[in-house]
A and B are shown apart, each in its own frame.
Chain A
Amino acid sequence: MTEQRKDILDLLVAGKITAEEAEQLIAALERDQAPTTASHDARPKGKVKYLRVLVDATDLGERSRVNVRVPLQLLRAGVRLAALIPPQALVKANASLSDSGVPIDLTQLKPEQLEALVEHLDEVTVEVDSPDATVRVFCE
C-alpha cells in the first residue's frame, strides 16, 4: 500500500472524509500513478549505449537521409579531450562566437557539467516533424 493511499484511509477512519470522497481520492491517485508507470515501462531497460540521429528530408523532390549512431562513450571521451583546451584558446573562441552572434562563455562550461549532460542524454528524445523533414534524436 502506498503512503498516499494509507493517508486517505487514515482520513476515512478518523471521519474527516466520507467513504465516497475516499473512493474519489483513491481513483484520482490511481489515475496519477498509471501514466508514470507506463512511461517507465516504455523506456528500454538497461544502460543505453548509443546516440542516434535520424533525419529524413525531401528537398525539391530529392530525398536525403542521415542515419548516425555515435557511442555515448565517444561523447564522454570527447568531453575529456575538450577539457584540455587551454584557457587562451577558449578566450579566442569566445570572441569568435560573440562576433558570430553567439554570446556563449565557454570558460564557464565545466567538464563535470558536460559529463552530467552526456550522462543524462538517455532521457532525451527529440522529434521534429515538418512537411519536408523528420528529425529524431534519441538514445538506444
Chain B
Amino acid sequence: MPQLVTVKVNRPDRRPVRVWVPVLPVALVLLPVVVLVVLAAIVACVVFRIGVARALGAAWRVISALPGARFDIEHCRTAVLVAIR
C-alpha cells in the first residue's frame, strides 16, 4: 500500500510547491468519505451485476501496486512531479 505521495509543482515566477502526503493518516482522517465511496462502489457492482468481492479485490490490487509509480512532466518552465512510495 502507498505510504507517501510526493507532489512538486514548479511554475515560472512563482514559488515552487512541494507537498508530501502521508497516505495512511490522510486515509484515516478521510475514513468516513472512504466508507461512503466503498458503499457506493458496492451498490454500483450490484446494479451492474459485477462480483463485489472480485471488484474490491481488483481495486485493492491497483492501490497496492501504486508504490514506485512516478510521473514527471515538464513543459517550458513549468514542471509537475508526482511520485508514490
Contact = CB atoms under 8 A, between A and B. Distances in A.
A66 B72 contact: yes
A52 to B, nearest CB: 9
B73 interface: yes
Interface residues of A, number: 23
Contacts of A80: 58, 61
Interface of B: 48-51, 54-55, 58-59, 61-62, 64-76
A71 B61 contact: no
A68 B72 contact: yes
Interface of A: 49-50, 62-71, 73-74, 76-78, 80-81, 83-84, 86, 89
Contacts of A78: 62
B interface, over-half SS: mixed
A98 B78 CA distance: 37
A50 B76 contact: no
Contacts of B69: 69-71, 74
Nearest to B49: A86
Given A84-B55, A86-B50, A71 B72 contact: no
A65 B71 contact: no
Given A84-B50, A86-B48, A86-B49, A74 B62 contact: yes
